[in-house]
Amino acid sequence: MKPRLRLLLLLFAVGWASTAFCAGSFAMRPEVQTFITEMREKHGFDDAALELAFASIKPIPAVIRAILPPSDPGIRSWQAYRARFVEARRIRLGLKFWQEHHAALAAAHQNTGVPEEIIVAIIGVETIYGRTTGKFTTLAALATLAFDYPASDLSGAPTPNRSTLFRRELEELLLLARETRRDPLSFKGSYAGALGLPQFLPGSVRRYAVDGDGDGRINLANSPADAISSVANFLKEHGWQRDQPVAVPASVEGEKFSTLLEEGIEPRRNPSELLVYGVTSSDAPELPAALIDLITPQQPTEYRLGYRNFYVLTRYNRSSFYAAAVLDLARELRKRQTTLDTQ
């Protein structure tokens, strides 16, 4: 029986026909049918079950609007970016989160070497400790980005083609749903398909999420212990080095240091090697580092030496601004927590 005829019969049989084929439904689109066929051939999925799932969703315009860069992006500002995350509310809620889940954080640190304050800071930056996890149906959001990723931005300039990435995450979501015996339509998250307190994409959930509370299942949306253990495991699996530095302040002179910026953020040279490029840092550990520039318009650029652990933070979000903001929030949380502990 042809797929479309089979789907129609199934929909009528369950009384869905009047709603499932609303304008814009994904079900009948050729590229979706091709994807369904691939899922059957690669992973043994049932065509009819996937057709029913895709028949119940349609593209989400808000997802496209959110994924597009602004028409007038301006110049990125480190100080403006930092102020969004290293601020009173996240510090206050972060200390509360730390106190409420100190046992899970201590266990995660013991198991992985990732400091407690780094874990707390990431969850704070990502979702303000579960308060902003997203309300989009993840299947619909990922399908929108997989099959309708915009070819140009609001100004008409071409955009990088990321549809392959989101198509892969759509595949991961369906595998995750099958493995956890969940309806794929039951997942809710960000416009980009990120899930739970730590905002893992489905592929990261499958690879790095762990059961932190010992209840036999992984629930990143409702179990802080699972989220804590999963963040720590993600960083460990990406190469976090126990008791090693993350980043230290640096100063630059002359123009030769620009060569180091062109080398990127992966650590390559020891601080002693950086001296000939005009880069200095007091008491910097003699370990491979990269020069990081944190630019704020009309203000002096802030420079840091980023070590391996700084690079690992950029595997969570591939931005030096992100890694530096996590580090600064973590340091502020540690300082406040230490003060509380000594009172």
- Residue-wise pLDDT for 143-157, tens only, equals 999 999 987 666 666
Q: What is the largest CA-CA distance in the chain?
A: 75
- My answer on whether 148 and 290 are in the same domain is no
Which residues form the catalytic set? Answer: 126
CATH assignment of the domain containing 30: 1.10.8.350
Confidence of residue 227 (pLDDT cuts 50, 70, 90): very high
- Residue-wise pLDDT for 82-129, tens only, equals 999 999 999 999 999 999 999 999 999 999 999 999 999 999 999 999
- My answer on whether 266 and 183 are in the same domain is no
Rounded to whole angstroms, how far apart are CA atoms 343 and 340? 5
The DSSP code for 200 is: B
Instruction: Note the pLDDT of residue 68.
Output: 86
- My answer on whether 44 and 140 are in the same domain is yes
Rounded to the nearest 10 degrees, the angle between the axes of helix 116-127 and helix 224-237 is: 110
Tokens coding 33: 């049918």
Q: Which of 173, 167, 145 is nearest to 67 (CA)?
A: 145
- My answer on whether 59 and 164 are in the same domain is yes
Q: How many domains does the chain have?
A: 2
Report whether pLDDT(163) > 50.
yes
Angle formed at CA 74 by CA 71 and CA 77, multiple of 5 degrees = 135
Helix (H, G, I), strand (E, B) or coil at 247: strand
The DSSP code for 246 is: -
Q: Which domain holds residue 166?
A: 22-69+134-204
- Across the range 63-76, mean pLDDT stands at 79
Rounded to whole angstroms, how far apart are CA atoms 266 and 310? 9
In a domain, 143, yes or no: yes
